[in-house]
Amino acid sequence: MTKESYTVPVSPSACKDFESNAIDLCTVNAVAWGIPAEKLTNIQPKRTDYEKKYATASNRSTQSPGATAARDASWELLKTDLIDMYDHNILNNEAISVAEKQALCIHFLVGGRGSSSPAPTTTPVVTLSSEEISVLYVVYSDSATPGSHAKPDNVAFCELKFKVDVPPPAKPDECPESVNISRSHTAVVFTPDQRGNKVFAYARWVNKNGKTGPWSGQISAIVP
């Protein structure tokens, strides 16, 4: 079994390289990869704003605490769109070659008998937090350590499968959408027409060898 994952970088220079590389590749290959034109149209102003503020914060003659804060705030907005594009249009997209996915910083998790790490035995405890319009934040902890937002050892990400609107699914297989959450408090972006609808979801841990743990119970929230 092979699963795909990615990690959004943290350092300013790595964030800059990540967004520039991803947006350039998706723009050039939009038709072949099936990237919706509206997503690329919507992300461009955020990219322009971020790169302008990144340049200001990186320039010795213009850098300041205020410039750094402005850059970081702009990155958070751009990052939300990037995560949405990765989760819904890039991961597990068979039109994208292995080499292209490696260029997009996608990791391949391969499971099997030879994998050294055992499958997770605990489940994610997930809350879908409503903090802004059309966005729910996935906040997780582990059933064995509910006081911490850290993943269990050797776990790569939390796989979240979900369905928007009633009737609720009876099991994870009835959820058509899937996202991989590598960090707690990651945003999942919904379309404007989904606002006010109920979201039903299930979650499980996936380790670094691609082995999966048990599914959680059903989680629900309203798209703000």
Average pLDDT over the chain reads 90
- What mean pLDDT do residues 188-206 have? 93
- According to DSSP H, which parts of the chain are helical? 12-28, 30-33, 37-58, 65-85, 98-103
The Cα–Cα gap between 43 and 47 comes to 6
For 109, the token pair is 């998790």
User: Domain spans of the chain?
Assistant: 2-109, 115-222
CB-based contacts of 36, cutoff 8 Å, min separation 6: 89
Q: Which position has the higher pLDDT, 162 or 106? A: 162
The residue count of the chain comes to: 224
Is it the case that residue 45 has pLDDT exceeding 50?
yes
| pLDDT, position 110 | 61
DSSP-based three-state secondary structure for 166: coil
pLDDT tens per residue, range 145-157: 988 888 998 888 8
Architecture of the structural domain at 115-222: Sandwich (2.60)
For 79, the token pair is 């990052």
| pLDDT, position 113 | 47
Q: Is the dihedral of CA 58, 61, 66, 67 positive or negative?
A: negative
Which residues on adjacent β-strands are paired with residue 186? 138
